[in-house]
């Protein structure tokens, strides 16, 4: 089983719909992140969370919200989806101490028509 | 403003030869650097990292070199193998905490048998 699981893996939806992407992890890490990747671009940070009570905006948080339901679960929501939010979304986790690498899920491909 | 740049979108290397992937950065506050490898339909996988107090870090076939004065890092893969064919991202972080990774746009490496 994957250490970082993202659901769904693919989603097609319409403009204006509310969408939730879910991430769960079995690594026991406190820190969780959401990124998006657009074609030809690197990953960009949307939100990150150091623990259940700590949520922080990343580089491109406008139009997104998150919920940290438990240490192992971190959800990303698009309240009213728009076409330019079509992208590949990745969840990641890391241990809290020092320089620890982030571990990524396999991504959710989201298309907004 | 692209703070982490990978100027070569693609690179082809003969199997058994050395692959050299390059990355430049502009933010002098970056002090921790990572390389990730990504296969299609999978999330990025951590490969190797280096902190700014070092100029070289080696792990098996993979070596990362950091030239702080030039704000340049490179990943060497020796010898290159067909399984190394993937997209490689460099990433950088500041202040010894990797909660805000800044990614480059990636280099697609193809190993020719």
Per run of 10 residues, the mean pLDDT along chain B (length 113 residues) is: 91 98 95 94 94 95 97 98 97 75 95 96
Collapsing DSSP to helix, strand or coil, A8 comes out as: coil
Reply yes or no on whether the pLDDT at A105 is more than 90: yes
Q: How confident is the model at residue A106 (pLDDT cuts 50, 70, 90)?
A: very high
pLDDT at A98: 66
pLDDT at A1: 57
Residues of B in contact with A50 (CB under 8 A): 99
| Beta carbons within 8 Å of B64's beta carbon, 6+ residues apart | B33, B35, B48, B49, B50, B56, B57, B58, B73, B74, B75, B76
**pLDDT (mean) for A35-57:** 92
Reply yes or no on whether the pLDDT at A85 is more than 60: yes
CB spacing of A56 vs B99 below 8 angstroms: yes
Reply yes or no on whether the pLDDT at A16 is more than 80: yes
Closest CA to A27 of A110, A98, A96: A96
d(CA A51, CA B100): 15
Q: CB of A76 within 8 A of CB of A57? A: no
d(CA A88, CA A39): 9
Q: CB of A27 within 8 A of CB of A93? A: yes
Cα nearest neighbour of B9 on chain A: A40
Closest CA to A23 of A32, A31, A13: A32
pLDDT at B53: 92
A86, with CB counted inside 10 A (0-12, 13-18, 19+), is middle
Mean pLDDT over the full length of chain A? 93
Q: Which two tokens stand for residue B55?
A: 């100029």
Helix (H) or strand (E) holding B11, with range, is strand B10-14
Residues of B in contact with A104 (CB under 8 A): 36, 43-45
The reply to whether B27 touches chain A by the CB within 8 Å rule is: no
Q: Best residue in A3, A23, A48, A101 to probe B by mutation, most B CBs within 10 Å?
A: A101
CB spacing of B46 vs A102 below 8 angstroms: yes
pLDDT at A84: 95
Residues of B in contact with A106 (CB under 8 A): 41-43
pLDDT at A96: 77
CB spacing of A33 vs B93 below 8 angstroms: no
Is beta strand A108-112 parallel, antiparallel or unpaired with respect to A10-13?
A: parallel
B4, B91, B98 ranked by CB distance to A100: nearest? B98
d(CA A54, CA A56): 7
Cα nearest neighbour of A93 on chain B: B99
Of A26-40, A51-65, A86-100, B4-18, minimum mean pLDDT range: A86-100
């Amino acid at each position: 089983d994957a250490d970082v699981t993202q659901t769904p893996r693919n989603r097609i939806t319409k403009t204006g719909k509310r969408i939730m992407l879910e991430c769960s992890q079995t690594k026991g890490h406190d820190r969780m992140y959401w990124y998006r990747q657009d074609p030809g671009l690197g990953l960009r940070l949307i939100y990150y969370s150091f623990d259940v009570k700590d949520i922080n905006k990343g580089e491109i948080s406008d139009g997104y919200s998150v919920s940290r339901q438990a240490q192992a679960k971190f959800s990303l929501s698009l309240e009213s989806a728009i076409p330019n939010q079509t992208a590949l979304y990745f969840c990641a986790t890391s241990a809290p101490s020092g320089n620890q690498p982030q571990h990524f899920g396999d991504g959710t491909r989201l298309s907004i028509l | 403003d692209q703070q982490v740049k990978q100027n070569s979108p693609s690179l082809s290397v003969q199997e058994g030869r050395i692959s050299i992937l390059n990355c430049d950065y502009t933010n002098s506050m970056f002090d921790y650097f990572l390389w990730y490898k990504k296969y299609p339909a999978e999330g990025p996988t951590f490969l190797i990292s280096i902190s700014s107090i070092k100029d070289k870090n080696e792990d098996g076939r993979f070596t990362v070199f950091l030239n702080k004065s030039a704000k340049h890092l490179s990943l060497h893969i020796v010898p290159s193998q067909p399984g190394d064919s993937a997209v490689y991202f460099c990433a950088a972080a500041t202040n010894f905490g990797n909660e805000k990774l800044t990614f480059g746009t990636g280099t697609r490496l193809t190993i020719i048998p």
